[in-house]
Chains A and B, each alone.
Chain A
Amino acid sequence: METIFRLMLTMTSTFWMVPIYFINASPGSHFKKIYLIIGIAGFLVPVIMSRASLALLKKFDEEDLEGCSEIRLVDKDFIPTYLGYFFVALSINDLLSLMVLYVIVFFFVHMTQAQYFNPFFLFFGYHYYDVVTKHGTRILVICKGPLRKNEKDGNFVGLRRINNITFIEQ
């Protein structure tokens, strides 16, 4: 069950490459309209899947964390990754390349436990924080709400475990 969930998260994070390809591609004139429609509709897929992932996450166990020694906002650290997806999608010329490249990107994102690099979470009001616990463990926390900066002794309540180094507070 959890593997399926992680695969779903990976797909949610990477799928938006596909509609970008469709919007950018220049097929023959009778296909152009279809491609445009697929492209725009395609964006709905990751949006709906992101929402669904967030709802499913609410079923996970909650854990609490008190007294973090460091909390750092790292939203901008993911910009190169997102841009990477974007440029890859733009540079593809045909459907076959799209499928092959998508599989490769999917594989990398899934194996590096980077399933949560999801720009749509940002649209839903979440921020990414690099947190160091009292014991010195470094984790990533995805957290909704106002920006937290420079807290010396922060607390997180109701953290849900996405993987051993990533947690989300909803």
Chain B
Amino acid sequence: MVHICAKIRDSGKAIKYRKVAKAESEVWPMAKECVHSTRPYVPDSLCGEGEWFEIAYASKQDFANDLMWERYSTVDFSSLTKDDFPRLDFLFIKDEEHIYFQNIPRTRLVRKKSVLCLEGGYRYQNDVGEIIIKALPDAIYSFESDSLFFQKLEQITGIFKNIDQLYREATEEEVEIFLNSDFITLKDSFGAQGVKTQNRKRVALAQRILSKLNKEENDGLFSYIRDYCSNLVGEDEKFMIGSEKDLKDLLYGIQMRFYTKPIGGEKMVATSAAPLI
């Protein structure tokens, strides 16, 4: 028996949490049942089935939510009213050990005509506001380990403000600087403004990697990239970047995502990679 609560969008200093409804049965599986394994978050990688990313010291971060340290009771929250519906931000359920979150995108906050199938039969209503509960929560916070678990960062940027700043994209200026690096030649009038979100994230990461290499390691890296991306190499040994795909290949190269199978010698690229712990 749990209470489903929600946060609403509101200005002002009053508590923005509301009590929504009671659920007699389990809404989401318990954390220990759905989180089979965890690994620290690495941008631009994907989780396998049952695998969750983890951010440690969650309550100390900028994006932390006061639910993590304020010991609220449902008694502290007012009940959600009909007028509050368009202002819903996210749902959460708190128990002794965890908080389970689900984001509610603004597009879902529409009242629609619906035929409801309830216990007493069917009923038509012309303005039903409904929030569908997903099979798994978008994020789980553990009080004991002070960690936040999630599978897709994009799904929780609505709940935890500025969480993506931790793994931010490069700004246009930074992308401009990167594209002007001496190992890159731009062609086909490709420029910083053509670079989209995914590549921007990779540029930020690539800058970090390159800044930590010494000359020898740098040369070694470029030779490795030339090996795998021979199509990118121009006459003067620089990389010719004319499209998003070219840029992506170069950035993957800087992240050293290319590898060759030990048996068979097939060249591969890892679309998702994380350190082996």
Chain B residues, Cβ within 8 Å of A66: 73
- Is A67 within 8 A of B71, CB to CB? yes
Which stretch, A4-12, A37-45, A104-112, A130-138, touches the partner chain B?
A: A130-138
User: Which residues of B (15-64) have their CB < 8 Å from a CB of A?
Assistant: 15, 19, 21-22
In the bound assembly, the distance between CA atoms of A64 and B72 in angstroms comes to: 11
Given A161-B79, A164-B79, are A63 and B74 also a contact pair (CB < 8 Å)? yes
With an 8 A cutoff between CB atoms, is B84 at the interface?
no
With an 8 A cutoff between CB atoms, is B75 at the interface?
yes
User: Main SS of the interface on chain A?
Assistant: strand
With an 8 A cutoff between CB atoms, is B78 at the interface?
yes
In the bound assembly, the distance between CA atoms of A135 and B75 in angstroms comes to: 10
With an 8 A cutoff between CB atoms, is B76 at the interface?
yes
Chain A residues, Cβ within 8 Å of B22: 61-62
- Is A63 within 8 A of B73, CB to CB? yes
Q: On chain B, which size bracket covers the interface?
A: 10 to 19
Chain B residues, Cβ within 8 Å of A67: 71
A69 to chain B, nearest CB (A): 12
A80 to chain B, nearest CB (A): 27
With an 8 A cutoff between CB atoms, is B154 at the interface?
no
Question: How many A residues, CB 8 Å from partner?
Answer: 16
B272 to chain A, nearest CB (A): 42
Which single member of A62, A135, A159 contacts B72 (CB below 8 Å)?
A: A135
A-B contact count (CB 8 A): 36
In the bound assembly, the distance between CA atoms of A59 and B73 in angstroms comes to: 21
With an 8 A cutoff between CB atoms, is B70 at the interface?
yes
In the bound assembly, the distance between CA atoms of A47 and B158 in angstroms comes to: 51
With an 8 A cutoff between CB atoms, is A139 at the interface?
yes
- Is A133 within 8 A of B76, CB to CB? yes
Given A61-B22, A63-B3, are A167 and B75 also a contact pair (CB < 8 Å)? yes
Interface string of A125-168 (1 = CB under 8 A from B): 00000000111010100000000000000000001010010010
- Is B79 within 8 A of A135, CB to CB? no
- Is A64 within 8 A of B78, CB to CB? no
- Name the residue among A62, A63, A64 with the largest chain B CB count within 10 angstroms: A63
- Name the residue among B15, B74, B75 with the largest chain A CB count within 10 angstroms: B75
Chain A residues, Cβ within 8 Å of B71: 67, 134-135
In the bound assembly, the distance between CA atoms of A158 and B21 in angstroms comes to: 15
Chain A residues, Cβ within 8 Å of B75: 63, 65, 133, 137, 139, 159, 161, 167
Closest 10 pairs between A and B when the two form their complex, measured CB to CB: A164-B78, A61-B22, A137-B76, A63-B74, A65-B75, A135-B76, A65-B73, A133-B76, A135-B72, A63-B75
* 10 new A-B contacts at CB < 8 Å, known A133-B73, A133-B75, A135-B76: A61-B3, A63-B74, A63-B75, A64-B73, A64-B74, A135-B72, A137-B15, A161-B75, A164-B78, A164-B79
Query: Can you spell out 14 A-B residue pairs with CB atoms less than 8 angstroms apart?
Result: A61-B21, A61-B22, A63-B3, A63-B19, A63-B74, A64-B74, A65-B75, A66-B73, A67-B71, A135-B70, A135-B71, A135-B73, A137-B75, A139-B75
